Homo-oligomer: A and B are copies of this chain.
Amino acid sequence: MSGTLFGLGVGPGDPELITLKAVRILQSSPVIAYPAPDTGDSMARAIAAPHIPDGRQEIIIRTPMIAGKFPANDVYDHYAKDISGHLDEGRDVAVLCEGDPFLFGSFMYIFERLSDRFPIEVVPGVSSIGACAAAAGAPLVSRNQVLSIVPAPLAEKDLEARIAVADAVAIMKVGRHLEKVRRVIDRLGLTEAAQYVERATLPNQKVSALAQLNDASAPYFSMILIRKPEQDPL
């Protein structure tokens, strides 16, 4: 009997925004894996830390972050092999994922390598989109509006086309793309409708109207929310 691979959404950052289900699985999984930058701490591990019992085997999935590039395949091949060794021997493995595993989550890299070989259960988590809207203090989208979630690394003209056609927009992974995103929003006449949110739900959370933000760059965990003036409700 092989073990089960769990993809655990641990939420946007506040350790209290983890679900009861994720806590239960954390407490019963003998092996816990989580992404971390090349050097430094894992945010997913920090979120889950209060619920990880002592003595669990831990796999740190270290993914070199090279600007503009996604991690090389062989990095994930290596960790998928490591994880499959435990599953083959009957041990469950919980892979932590910030936010929600299947909404832009890093878990997909492990999932696509192991999903045809082992039983998998994905536990959805609170995504950063709802968390940023809560931090910004206003509903992002309502009634019959269309919400588009747009990654900031897109080329400038693509970014503009995508933002132009949505009623409400969450622009993710702003980071070093801040100036490009700001130009696009400005050209579309949407600066007054845009809110900037950085590190939502963490103690150092920052919220600002985009028009008042003077920073030239932003951390990776930052988002810009745009709520266009609402159409009449149906």
Contacts and interface: CB of A to CB of B under 8 A. Distances in A.
A127 interface: yes
A50 to B, nearest CB: 9
Interface residues of A, number: 64
A82 interface: no
Task: In the A-B complex, list the 7 residue pairs whose CB atoms are closest, starting with the nearest.
Answer: A100-B130, A102-B133, A124-B130, A122-B134, A16-B21, A108-B139, A144-B151
Interface in A118-137: 120, 122-127, 129-131, 133-134, 137
Contacts of A108: 139, 142
Which of A11, A21, A107, A139 has the most C-beta atoms of chain B within 10 angstroms of its own C-beta?
A: A139
Given A151-B145, A165-B165, A134 B126 contact: no
A49 interface: no
A101 B126 CA distance: 11
Contact of A21 (B17, B161, B162): B17
B70 A234 contact: yes
A9 interface: yes
Contact of A19 (B17, B101, B147): B17
